[in-house]
Amino acid sequence: MVRAAFDGDAEPKLVDDIRADGCYRQPLALVADAGGGEIVGHVMVNHCTLRDDDGTMHHVGMLSPLAVRPDRQRDGIGSALVREVCARAAAQGDPLVILEGSPLYYARFGFVDARTLGITIHLPDWAPPEAGQALPLSSYTPDVRGTAVYPRPFDALG
């Protein structure tokens, strides 16, 4: 299903690599089932850290990837998955969730430009700076800031 939602093999491999790594959080890996075992969407939030200027590491969630089968996009599946996985991350005590993605899409869930919270997310050259986003959750405090240190599975993405 993830392969159908993206061009290429990078995202399906990323999902497999996250599942094999210590950053994986099985309770925060969700699928949307249209009935009868027909999987139409997938999202996961894994462990990530922010390193601030004095070297303090803050543990946060990182949403990646969100995938919806192309023929089911614009049916609200992605929105439902994002809302549910972020609610579960909040219930587990995450102070915030970060991601790389479309500000036009993710703003509807409360995501903001991460830079406004003192968070640096190193993005690919082709991505606009505002694509690095963060969603403050109920346990968020302004001291949770710094540079995103991606988990090992993301190394293969460059």
Per the domain annotation, does 8 fall within a domain? Answer: yes
Number of domains in the chain: 1
Q: Which residue has the tokens 């703003």?
A: 107
Q: Find the domain containing 140 and state its range.
A: 2-152
CATH at residue 118: 3.40.630.30
In the chain, beta strands by DSSP E: 29-33, 39-51, 57-68, 96-100, 112-113, 119-120, 132-136, 146-149
Asked whether the predicted pLDDT for residue 70 surpasses 70, the reply is: yes
CB 151 within 8 A of CB 46: yes
Per the domain annotation, does 75 fall within a domain? Answer: yes
Per the domain annotation, does 40 fall within a domain? Answer: yes
Which pTM does this prediction carry? Answer: 0.94
The alpha-helical segments, DSSP class H, found in the chain are 2-5, 10-19, 77-91, 103-106
15: left (phi over 0), alpha (psi -120 to 50) or beta: alpha
pLDDT at site 156:
77
Per the domain annotation, does 158 fall within a domain? Answer: no
DSSP string, 17-32: HHHTSTT--GGGEEEE
What six digits make up the tokens of 50? Answer: 């922010």
Structure confidence by residue, pLDDT tens digits, 72-124: 999 999 999 999 999 999 999 999 999 999 999 999 999 999 999 999 999 99
Per the domain annotation, does 157 fall within a domain? Answer: no
The 10 Å Cβ neighbour count of residue 7 is 7
